[in-house]
Amino acid sequence: MRTLNHVYAFAIASRLTTITIAILSYLTTGTYDSSADIQLASSSLIQRCLSVFLRWDALYFVHIARQGYIYEQEHAFFPGLPLVSRYLAQTVFSPIQTYLGEQHTIILAGALVTNISFILAAGSLFKLTRSIFPGYPQLAIISSIAFCLSPPSMFMSALYTESPFAFLSFTGMLWYSQKHYLGASILWGIASSFRSNAIVYSGFFMYDLILRRIGKCTMITGLIRSILYTAITLSGYTAVQYYGYLEYCPERPWCTQTIPMIYTFVQKEYWNNGFLAYYEVKQIPNFLLALPIISLTVVGIWKYAQYDWLWFCSLGFLSSKVKEPTMSYSSRRAAPFMYLWGLLLLYAVTCMHVQVIIRFFTALPPLYWFTAQLWINGFGKQGKIMQQWVAKIVLTYYVLYGLVGIVLFAAFLPPA
């Protein structure tokens, strides 16, 4: 329990440091883009400090919280965070609306949601890691620290969905690891109203309840349960699509598709997302920006699979090893998480604005497990020269990218 409290303390310290740097940077240098200042018309010092949380996508979230979905392109942003922020602003924080105004109160409520979620997510990741690697407590501590040093640091504290999504994802994964499938599916269903990528978590049920039971008498019941839990996991995402259908159909072109989904249409039409759509010469800098996380992912999956390639590639049906590692990053209990990591890597580099992978992977435990393993190897007493260098490079990347990103975010400058 004391170790978990240390994790929470480190997470709180990381958020206070991040927010302080952002506010000081903003008050000192101002912003390159004045859209947030124009929209908010901040007058008092408190209002100006709160405006630092309103950058880029956060402008959409606040607009949705105040007025709902007005424009079709806004459906790229899911309603979970705006709804929670508006509810809190109109209830718990309603007395201070007189002093701050509606918009600033929504921002305050949203910022509290994201930062509290971040702190809780660090604890959930710690408990999840202890569950997956019970014989490796050191990995749990260092993984949580790696999460607290996530490169997109300010995005985790601003009015963005990364932190609430990470909390719901990690907690659901923890319950999944404990075989509490119904609870996990409910949490992931809520998560899918925050971010669309929660729908891929249905793969955990397919892996456990179908794939791992092939040839067994429990496979049929596993299939039925998997369908039920998948439906719950997709519920938030499905509700968002259905709302869009009611709002715009049959007038819009996507309404006539076999499965009419406003989200996929909006992503392609307004944000240029789609298969290989980002593969242009002018996007080379963004691919370079994403290269560190891509490299960590490729090497991390390679190192995991290296212990038993046959077992990994056969989805666990065949094995060339007699004994499973216990004090190791290569624990077989982590397999479904590694498959998820690989699947999302493939999706990110082919169908997304690739630089967003830095934020997209904030809810993926294997990224932090592998980072932690590198730090344990490099900073431990038995660390070899190469391991020490790798550990230092990765730590430097986490810290420097995070610090520079905070300043750029506060100034409303890319590539934050």
21-61 pLDDT per residue, tens = 999 999 998 887 676 666 777 778 999 999 999 999 999 99
CA distance 264 to 204: 23
pLDDT of residue 95: 95
Residue 225 near residue 182 (C-beta atoms within 8 A):
no
DSSP 170: H
Phi/psi region, residue 395 (left: phi>0; alpha: psi -120 to 50; beta: rest), is: alpha
Q: What angle do CA 168, 172, 173 make, to 5 degrees?
A: 120
CA distance 292 to 361: 12
pLDDT of residue 2: 78
Residue 357 near residue 415 (C-beta atoms within 8 A):
no
Low-confidence ranges of the chain (pLDDT < 50): none
pLDDT of residue 36: 66
pLDDT of residue 416: 59
pLDDT of residue 41: 72
- The H-or-E segment that residue 372 falls in is helix 365-379
pLDDT of residue 38: 64
pLDDT of residue 327: 63
CA distance 62 to 79: 10
pLDDT tens track for 379-395 = 988 889 999 999 999 99
CA distance 47 to 50: 5
pLDDT of residue 382: 85
